[in-house]
Amino acid sequence: MSEPASISTGIAARYATAVFDLAKETKKLAAVEGDLDSLESALNDSADFSNLLSSPVYGREEQGAAIVALAKKMKLSPITTKALSLMAAKRRLFVVPQLVKALRERIAEDKGEVSAEVVSAKALTKAQADKLAKTLKARFGKTVTINASVDESLIGGLVVKVGSKMIDTSIRSKLGSLQNAMKEVG
């Protein structure tokens, strides 16, 4: 991991821990989880929102006022609103994407869940996703939430990432291994 990325992840992890602990203590974890959905959709759908978070052009006061207004408009919980306001005051809004990810991981861990990033050559059917989730639950002993995406360059098979573990059964990977083996022979 590059140094700036690890610094951002470290900052986000500290904020995520604080928000998680406060939400759990005040029994507002469900509200914060809902806030994460709103923030994630705003990050994905609005270039202006992403620009506000990462642009050095905006000052502390501008970012703070904009974040409070957006939080009110998005109906975010007081815990999330205060955390974002503090991050704006400290010029740390650039870590919001990592904060969302870290908070999701903490909440999932608290619920006994784990998320799996699944990349397939074509979209998984509901039955395939359910069977995969059941298989992963048996393997990891936790309820598995599947985040599926499609990459046609895999040709066939799956690439499954759960935490730090990766299972690559793609045809692209097998062809690459075969190609390397053939190079070693010649």
User: What pLDDT is stored for residue 186 in this prediction?
Assistant: 64
Same domain, yes or no: 126 and 95: no
What SS3 class is residue 170?
coil
CATH number (domain holding residue 78): 1.10.520.20
Would you say residue 3 has pLDDT above 90?
Answer: no
**What b/e readout covers 29-41, taking b as 16+ CB neighbours within 10 angstroms?**
bebbbebbebbee
Enclosing domain of residue 82: 3-109
- Choosing from 109, 140, 175, the residue where a domain stops is 109
User: What pLDDT is stored for residue 41 in this prediction?
Assistant: 93
pTM of the predicted model, to two decimals?
Answer: 0.73
- Choosing from 92, 109, 126, the residue where a domain stops is 109
Same domain, yes or no: 122 and 175: yes
Q: In this predicted model, what pLDDT tens digit does every residue of 99-134 receive, in sequence order?
A: 999 999 899 889 989 889 999 999 999 999 999 999
Structure tokens belonging to residue 62:
């501008």
Same domain, yes or no: 10 and 70: yes
User: What pLDDT is stored for residue 40 in this prediction?
Assistant: 93
Same domain, yes or no: 85 and 121: no
Same domain, yes or no: 132 and 72: no
CATH number (domain holding residue 152): 3.40.30
Pairing of strands 158-162, 143-150: unpaired
Q: In this predicted model, what pLDDT tens digit does every residue of 31-74 receive, in sequence order?
A: 999 999 999 999 999 999 999 999 989 999 999 999 999 999 99
- When pLDDT is cut at 50, 70 and 90, the band that residue 4 belongs to is low
